Homo-oligomer: A and B are copies of this chain.
Amino acid sequence: MGKCEQCIVRELSSLKALSKDELIHLAKCKDSFLIKKGDVIFNEGDVMNGVYCIKQGTCKLVKMNSSGKDTILKLITKGDLLGQTSILTEGKATLSAVAVEDMQVCFIPKNEVLGFIGNNKSFSLEVTKDVCQNLNYATDFAINHTHKTVKERLAQALLDVLDSAGTDTEGYLNLQLSRDEIASMVGTATESCIRLLAELKKLGIIDLKAKRIKIIKLNELKSLAQ
C-alpha cells in the first residue's frame, strides 16, 4: 500500500489540505487498484461507500437519459476526486463513471472522508469549493448545450479532450474516444458528429488519422467554440 504523503496527485485535489497524521491514516484505510478501459467504476443509482481518487488515466462521467442515450458530462483525470457529492448528500450516485483508458485509482471509505470533513476545516472547505467548481462547470455545460450549435459544441468537446489528456509528440490528442463517445460529449447523433469532424478536417482546423485526432489550428477551434 503506497504512502499517500508522497503521492503525486495529492496536491491536485482537496486532499492537499490533510495533515501529516491524516495522510498516514489515509494510507492505511485507502484501497488502491487498477481499472481496465471500458470498466464501470460505479453506476447511476449505486450506493456510494466512498470516494475515488484518480491517480492515473481518464474516465467519463455519464448519464443516461430516458430514451437510453448517453450524455458524457465530463472527463475526469489525474488528481480529480469522484463521488464526493453522493457521500455528502448521503444519496445514491446520480451519474455513472466509466474508464476510457486503463486507470489507477484509490478508494477512500465514506466514513474516513466524513471524518476528515468533520475534523479538518480546511479540508472541508476545499471539498466544498470543489463541489462549487463542479457546479459552475455544470452550469456552463448546460448553457452551451442550450444555445450553441452542434459544431460549436464539437469544437468545445475537442478542447475539453485536449485539456484533460494533452497531446503526444506528434501533436495528436492523447485520448482516443470513439465517434460515438465524442457525439455523447457533444450531445448529438453519431452521424452528425462524424460529418462535422470531416468538415473541420476539410477546413484544416483538425487532422484525422483513424481514431487519432490532431488539433492543427487551435485558435480557430477556440473561436469556433467561442
List chain A positions with a Cβ less than 8 A from chain B: 63, 65-67, 69, 71, 73, 85, 88-89, 94-95, 117-118, 121, 124-125, 127-129, 131-136, 138-139, 141-143, 145-148, 187, 226
Complex A-B: 9 CB contacts under 8 Å: A63-B143, A73-B143, A85-B136, A88-B128, A89-B129, A89-B136, A124-B128, A135-B135, A138-B138
- Chain B's closest residue to A142 (CB) is B142
Among B69, B73, B118, B121, contact of A142 (Cβ-Cβ < 8 Å): B73
Set of chain B residues within 8 Å of A135, measured between Cβ atoms:
85, 131, 134-135, 138
Q: How far is the CA of A138 from the CA of B138 in the complex (A)?
A: 6
- Chain B's closest residue to A127 (CB) is B128
- Is A187 touching B128 in the complex (CB atoms < 8 A)? no
Set of chain B residues within 8 Å of A69, measured between Cβ atoms:
147
Question: A63-B139, A66-B226, A226-B66 are known contacts. Are A147 and B89 too (CB-CB below 8 A)?
Answer: no
Beyond known contacts A73-B139, A89-B133, A135-B135: 20 more, CB 8 A cutoff: A63-B139, A65-B148, A67-B147, A69-B147, A71-B147, A73-B142, A73-B143, A85-B135, A88-B128, A89-B129, A94-B139, A118-B121, A124-B124, A124-B128, A131-B132, A134-B135, A138-B138, A138-B139, A141-B142, A146-B187
